[in-house]
Amino acid sequence: MIGMKKHSVGEPLFSRSFSGLNVVIEKGADGAARLLHFSTEPFDPSLVSPEESKRRRHTLVEVHCSGEDQHDHHGAKHTGSNPGGGVPRYVSHRCYATDCGEKLEVVQEAKGLRIVSHMQFFEGLPVARCWTELENLRLDPVGVEYVSSFALTGLTKEQAGHWTDGFHLHTVRQAWNAEFQWNRNSLSEYGLNHVTSAGFSTQRAAFSNTGSWAAKEMLPMAVLENDASEQVLFWQIEAVGSWNWEIGDIAKQLYLQLSGPSERENQWWKELRPGDCFQSVPVAVGSCGGGLDAAFNTLNRYRRAMRNPHADNVALPVVFNDYMNCLMADPTTEKLLPLIDKAADAGAEYFVIDGGWYDDGPWWDGVGEWLPAPRRFPGGIEEPINHIRARGMIPGLWLEIERMGRSCRLTREWPDDCFFMRHGKRVVEHHSCQLDFRHPTVIAHADETVRRLVEDYGVGFIKMDYNIEIGPGTEVDADSFGDGLLQHQRAYRTWLLKIYERYPDLVIENCSSGGMRLTYGLMDLQSLCSTTDNQNYLMNARISINSAIGVSPEQAGVWAYPLADAGEEEVVMNMVNAMSWRIYLSGQMQAMDGKRLALVKEAVALYKSFREKIPSADLVWPLGLVRQDSGWGAFGLRWKNEILLSVWRFDSPDETCAIPLNNSIEPNMEVECIYPTDKPVRAGWNSETGMMGITFPSRNMARMFSIKRRTK
C-alpha cells in the first residue's frame, strides 16, 4: 500500500559473546551484513527498528570508491557508501581460534571489490581489534577514498529517552608540553541534538589528524559514557600518522565510525589495481560497565595483551637521560663523567646521552650521519660510554633516524626519491628533510647507523626521537600524498621490527617532542616512551597522573629532574611524579649532595622494591583525572587488597583532602607514608566511609602511601 513503511528483519548470521562482549550480525534484506549489536549489554532485538530504511543503517563497513554514488543526505559524514554502485553483498563468515582469542572474519563483495571485516577478540577482555581488508577482483582499477576500520550504529539504543540527555563524550587533547588533557563534553556541546524533525542531521562530532605526528592535537581515543548506567564504549585508533573518527546521528540513532586516513580529511586516496589489496589502519573498540576507571583498565589490559613482548616491560630498569634540566643537548666528556658517577650512585641502570653528541657546534640542520663530534669527545665517544659501562650501567644514545638536516652532505648526494616530495620539491620542515623508509638507500643507512651504535659503541638503549611534523605526505611512488605517508610509516614499522629481531635486547624509546606520536601505532612495538618535554615539575606531575589513560604505566617514561637548587619538597615531588611509571632521572645531579641526593636515592631504591609488580597492576584515580587548575591529584596502582597511592597537593588552599577508596579495596586497611620515610604526613583510614584522610601542611607537596589490609 502506498505510504506504508517497509518492515523486514534480516537473516541471523552471527551471535556470540566474547568475554562478555556481545556481537550480533545479520544479513539484511538487501544482502548486506549488518552489525546490530556490539556491547556488554545483552541484545534486545526490539530496540532495532524493523523499518528497512532504518535497519539498513546498521552497516558493518563503509567504503567510498571514486565515481560511485554516496547515496545519502550526509553533509560531511562518511555514510551512505555504495561501492560498485550498490551495497556490499554478504558472501561468508568464519570464526576461529588464534593465540590471543577468537577471530571473526566477514566477507562481502561489491561488484568485484572484496571487503573483509576483521574482528580479533582477546581472551578475558571485552575488546575487539578491528580492521578492513579490500581486494580488487576486477579487471579495472578501483579508487578508494574512504574505508572504515569499524562502524557501529545504535550506540545509545538502550537509553530511555533521547541520546542528548545523559551521555558524555570524553576526549584527550594534546599539545607540546601539555599532553593528556582530559575533556568531558555533552553531545549537544558538539552540535548533536534533537532540534531536527528529520530523524537525523548533517552534524557530527568529528576528530581528525593529518600528518606524521599522530597525537599532536589529541590522542586518537575516546570514551562515550552513559551517565546513568556507567556503561561505556571506548576506542583507540592505532595509527602512526593520519586518522579519523566521527559520531553522528542517523535514523534517530547515533553511529560511530573509526578509520585511518581519508581523501576528504587527509589527502589520502588509493588506487587498487587488479589483484591489489589494501588493509586499513587497525582500531580497538571495547565496552564495559563501571565508568571511566573500568574503561581505562580494560584498555590498559588490552594494550598489555596486544603489544610485542620485551624484557624491558618486565624488568623496568631506571633510566638516566642527560637532557631535561641537565645538559640540554650539549654533552662533552668533561660534563658527562661526573654526571655518570652521580647517576650510578643514585641507582640508575641505563645512562642515555641525549642530543648533541654528533656535532661540535649548532647541530639541528646538520644531523643525518650520526658520527660522534670529535671536539666534544677528545678521547672518542667510547670514553664516556666505557665509563657508563664501568659504573655498571648500560649506555644509550639519542637518534632521530627519520630526519636529515638539510645541511647534511647526504642530502646533496642522495636522489630526491629518498626524501618526501610534494609538487616536485623536497618537503622541508624545521630546516630538515623527511627520509622515506621505502627507499633501499635509506634502509641501508638506518641499518648501518644502528649497527654502529650497538656493535661498535656497545649501546643498549636508543632514544628514538622525531621532532618534525611533515604534513599530509609525499607524492613519490604514491597514489596521493596520504598514500605515500601511510606507505612510509608502514615501512618504518617493518624496519623497527627487523631491528628488534636483529637486536632483541635493545631498548628503543618512542619520543616525538615528548608525546606527539604516542599511540599504539608504535607503542605496540616500542617498549617505553617519553610522556612529555615539559620542564616544569608541577606541570609534569599533572601530565603523569593522566598518562595511564593513553599508555600502560610500565611503558610511560616520566621525568624526575630536580634542579640544582631545588628544595627538599621539590625533590620529593619530582620523584613521586615518576615512581608509579618508569623513572627517567635527570637534572643537575652532579651538583646535588646531602639530603636532596639522599631523597633521590631513597626513591629509586623504593621503586626497585615494587617495580616488578607494575605490569600487573590495575589503575586507580580516586580523585578523578586532573586538569591544569586541579588543587589535588591522586593516582594508584592496585593489586588485590593493596594500593600504592601517590598524592599531590598543588595550589589548593585546603590542607586536608578526603580520598574515596571504598570501591577500590576492602575495609580494615592501614595507611603508611612510604616516601619519604623521614618526612611523613598525617594520614588515616575511615573503615566506615572507605575514605582516606590526609593532611599536607604546604602547597606543592607530594607523598607516596602504601594501603594494605591491617595486620593483627
What backbone phi and psi angles, to 5 degrees, belong to 351?
-125, 120
Among the candidates 291, 306, 321, a domain finishes at 306
Domain that holds residue 681: 619-709
25 within domain boundaries: yes
492 within domain boundaries: no
pLDDT at 551 over 90: yes
Q: What's the pLDDT at 4?
A: 39
Q: pLDDT tens across 82-111, in order?
A: 887 778 999 999 999 999 999 999 999 999
Binning pLDDT at 50, 70 and 90, where does residue 663 land? low
165 within domain boundaries: yes
pLDDT at 712 over 70: no
Identify the sign of the CA torsion 451, 453, 459, 461. Answer: negative
Identify the sign of the CA torsion 111, 113, 114, 119. Answer: negative
CB neighbours of 614 closer than 8 A, spacing ≥ 6?
316, 553, 554, 580, 581, 637
Distance CA 163, CA 157 (A): 8
Q: What's the pLDDT at 164?
A: 75
Distance CA 187, CA 469 (A): 31
The CATH number of residue 684's host domain is 2.60.40
Among the candidates 278, 306, 334, a domain finishes at 306
pLDDT at 578 over 90: yes
Any idea of the CA torsion for 641, 292, 577, 504, to the nearest 10 degrees? 90
Residue of 150, 148, 146 lying closest to 64 (CA atoms): 146
The CATH number of residue 53's host domain is 2.70.98.60
Q: pLDDT tens across 440-454, in order?
A: 999 999 999 999 999
Helix (H), strand (E) at residue 12: strand 11-18
Select the more confidently predicted residue: 182 or 9. Answer: 182
Select the more confidently predicted residue: 571 or 159. Answer: 571
Q: What's the pLDDT at 31?
A: 95
185 within domain boundaries: yes
- Give the 3-state DSSP-derived string for 98-122, with helices as H, strands as E and coil as C: CCCCEEEEEEEEECCEEEEEEEEEE
451 within domain boundaries: no
Cα first-last separation, the chain: 80
Q: What's the pLDDT at 298?
A: 98
Among the candidates 306, 338, 359, a domain finishes at 306
Computed over every residue of the chain, the mean pLDDT equals 94
CB neighbours of 64 closer than 8 A, spacing ≥ 6?
70, 78, 81, 83, 144, 145, 146, 147, 262, 263
Q: pLDDT tens across 478-525, in order?
A: 999 999 999 999 999 999 999 999 999 999 999 999 999 999 999 999
Domain count, the chain: 2
| Percent of residues, the chain, with pLDDT higher than 70 | 97
Binning pLDDT at 50, 70 and 90, where does residue 152 land? very high
359 within domain boundaries: no
pLDDT at 303 over 50: yes
Q: pLDDT tens across 370-422, in order?
A: 999 999 999 999 999 999 999 999 999 999 999 999 999 999 999 999 999 99
pLDDT at 5 over 60: no
474 within domain boundaries: no
Distance CA 701, CA 629 (A): 15
531 within domain boundaries: no
Residue 660: CB atoms within 10 Å: 13
